[in-house]
Amino acid sequence: MNDESISICVKYGFDDTRIRETILALDIHPAHADLADRISREVIGDKADELVNICFALLANLREFSLIKPNLDVSVFKQIWVDQLQRFGQGFHTPKYFAERLTLSAARAHDGLSMSVLHLQHQITQQILVERLITSFQNDPETVWALMPCILKFIALDLHLAIEGYHLQEIEDQQNKLTACRIESAKLYQKVATDQLTGVMSFSHVMEALENHINKAVQTGTTLCVMMIDLDFFKRVNDTHGHLVGDSVLIHTAERIKSAVRDFDMVGRFGGEEFTVILTNADMALARVIAERIRQDVAGTPFHAKEHIIGVTISLGVAMLKPGETREAILERADVAMYEAKQTGRNRVVVAEDLEQAASTLEM
């Protein structure tokens, strides 16, 4: 139990040093243990149940308490109150004492009991004990003045621990809610960022990622290439085999593209039967190799649909980022190259820079 109490105290930020500091701050000393024992025997005695019933009747009149009372196990609530009253101030310097009160207030916070109700519970307890003390020793003022500060100090200690446990539980609950919100947000973002049919990046996520990687390439001075990919004769597949088969061909093609690129390359669906690939830290020589590997992998792996074997080929356009170029500009150059691949026979790779160099040569 001691190890468990220490663990609970540490969880709420109360190590041995802080326990000692808290007790000293309230001017509670070892001698108060004997005074607390006198209060338990001579003030509370066997009247703990009676005193708690009086306290509870006052607390129950509070409108805020009445709102949560239907959801509260009153008998358990009162029994815990009785148990604490019967052990008033006992072991106040131990981790067990601190752990019990911190845990209890945290549970109260979790159950929806407000801080004002929790505060009033301690104030009512203090009021009833003081009244009981004065009644019990009405002819002995010296005892009253000796024991009254002890009642006030231990109620103050219990209230301090109640506030600490309550607020820390509130913080933990808020952190749990925030974590849940982050998880849900991540799920929603993943849903938005992923093309629901093929499982690759969605168009909006492709554009966002390309913008980010262009900025990073500019800052670090690294190279970046982009591919535009389009399935050849895809309309024929839909018209011949239906759109369900056409969707399966798109999924198949996306899988072949992903298997042919590097682990950190990004594959996205640009729309319809078009895909795009973002190649970071890749110059044109490497981009050519990867593009050709993609083309061969797709062409060499026909799609099987029931009794049909559907040959799938793609046309690819590749472009490398130029200084000062925007994402729209590099995508347009890759798209022009892809269109050229289609115009010149399909199932091939065309590089934007080759087209531009050829055009420049003709102009000369």
Residues belonging to the active site: 273
Residue 284 CA to residue 357 CA, distance in Å, equals: 14
86, 113, 129, 173, 266 from 80: Cα distances, Å: 10, 15, 17, 23, 60
62, 111, 123, 156, 162 from 114: Cα distances, Å: 12, 9, 14, 18, 11
> Is the Cβ–Cβ distance between 185 and 257 less than 8 Å?
no
DSSP alpha helix (H) spans, 311-351: 327-343
DSSP class of residue 13?
Answer: T
Residue 313 CA to residue 28 CA, distance in Å, equals: 84
In this structure, is the dihedral angle defined by the CA atoms of residues 230, 300, 355 and 322, taken in order, positive or negative? positive
Residue 30 CA to residue 273 CA, distance in Å, equals: 81
32, 90, 122 from 146: Cα distances, Å: 10, 17, 21
Residue 279 CA to residue 228 CA, distance in Å, equals: 11
> Is the Cβ–Cβ distance between 86 and 40 less than 8 Å?
yes
**Strand residues in 182-329 grouped as ranges (E):** 224-231, 266-271, 274-280, 303-305, 308-310, 314-320
Residue 316 backbone dihedrals phi, psi, to 5 degrees: -125, 140
Q: Which amino acid is at 93?
A: H
Residue 15 backbone dihedrals phi, psi, to 5 degrees: -85, -175
